[in-house]
Structure 1
């Protein structure tokens, strides 16, 4: 039986996400930007949070974890560098697995945005929890000196099957779409998605859920190996990692 997935806005643009296993009743919160909002979202669906999966240690992803653990007794797992920010029951890293009901998530170390950043890859449920590595039509900011690490992390995620759903950590979708269109103006799929992003913003819809295939078609950071993107940042013939770095620097200044 597949997992139920609910993605919603918390704080101003953070993504709250709940994964629920109907067979066992187990429910995982993915990070906890705001404890009250995450607990309310679970109550509204009749779910009880049993687990918290932390993607990375940044305050806007961990500040509500202790309160959720206190309210529910949830088991908390996450990277070593989140230990000071949240009450971890288990430290996890590259090569580990985490279970929710019958689903097993592979744990990938995906640094670049933060040193200990983890992604949770659920091939059975076709969902990957990618935190601040991948956003809809974008990617997270990169720590100084970590461009190569971020490119490696993105490359792993973009190689997943196209129907894998990606749960990102924020909704920056319209801003990302504007930048993507500026460097890839002839991409018809991107133009359509840009229009959708404008509509979503006007209607107040939250958008932090995408698929690998959709990002392969419209995300300039996924497409750094293509000539049109290299030309857009003056890196024709350069390796994809260098094109990615130039694209990310251009986005920082956009």
Structure 2
């Protein structure tokens, strides 16, 4: 039986996310920007949170964990770097596995945005919890000196099957879509997604769920090896990792 997924806005643009296994009743919160908002979302669904899965150590992803754990007794699975800001029951890292009901999540180290960043991958559910490594049509800011690490992390995620759904950490979709259109102006898929992002913003719709296929078609950071992107930056013939770094610097100034 597939996992139920609920993604919602918390704080101003963070993604709150809940995964629920209908067979066992197990429910996991993915990061906790705000405990009250996560509890309210779970209550509205009638789900009892039993686990907290953490992607990385930044405060806006872990600041609500202590309160949520106190309210629910949930077991916290997090990278070691999160221990300074949250009560962690089980430290997770590359090669570990976390069970949610009958589902199994592989833990991948995906540094670049944060040194302790991990992504959790369920092959059975075709689902990846990618935190701030990937956003809809974008990627997270990169730590100084860690462009190569971020490109490696992105490349690894890009190799997942096209149908894999990605739960991302923020909704920066409209800004990302505008940047993608500037970098890849001849791409009709980007133009269509920009129009969708503008409509979503106007309607107040939160957008932090995407797929590998959609990102391959429209995310400039996924398309760093494409000639069109290289031409925009004057880097035709350069390695994809170098083009990615130039794109990320351009986005920082966009």
Q: Give the TM-score of the pair, scaled to structure 2.
A: 1.00
**What runs of 5+ residues in structure 1 fail to find an aligned partner?**
none
Distance in 2 (CA, whole Å) between partners of 1:4 and 1:123 is: 15
Distance in 1 (CA, whole Å) between partners of 2:23 and 2:86 is: 29
Q: How many matched pairs?
A: 254
Q: What corresponds to 1:120 in structure 2?
A: 120
Q: What corresponds to 1:89 in structure 2?
A: 89
By how many angstroms is 1:126 displaced? 1.2
Q: Secondary structure of the equivalent of 1:163?
A: coil
1:64-143 equivalent positions in 2, closer than 5 A: 64-143=64-143
Q: Secondary structure of the equivalent of 2:106?
A: strand
Q: Secondary structure of the equivalent of 2:189?
A: helix
Residues 95-144 of structure 1: CA distance to partner in whole angstroms, max 9, x if unpaired? 00000000000000000000000000011111100000000000000000
Alignment root-mean-square deviation, CA: 0.4
Q: Secondary structure of the equivalent of 2:48?
A: coil
Moved >3 Å (runs of 4+): none
Q: What corresponds to 1:57 in structure 2?
A: 57
Distance in 1 (CA, whole Å) between partners of 2:184 and 2:207 is: 21
Q: Secondary structure of the equivalent of 1:83?
A: helix
**What runs of 5+ residues in structure 2 fail to find an aligned partner?**
none
Residues 39-67 of structure 1: CA distance to partner in whole angstroms, max 9, x if unpaired? 00000000000000000000000000000
By how many angstroms is 1:12 displaced? 0.2
Q: What corresponds to 2:12 in structure 1?
A: 12
Q: Secondary structure of the equivalent of 1:199?
A: helix
Q: What corresponds to 1:199 in structure 2?
A: 199
- Residue 34, structure 1, aligned to residue 40, structure 2: no
Q: What corresponds to 2:166 in structure 1?
A: 166
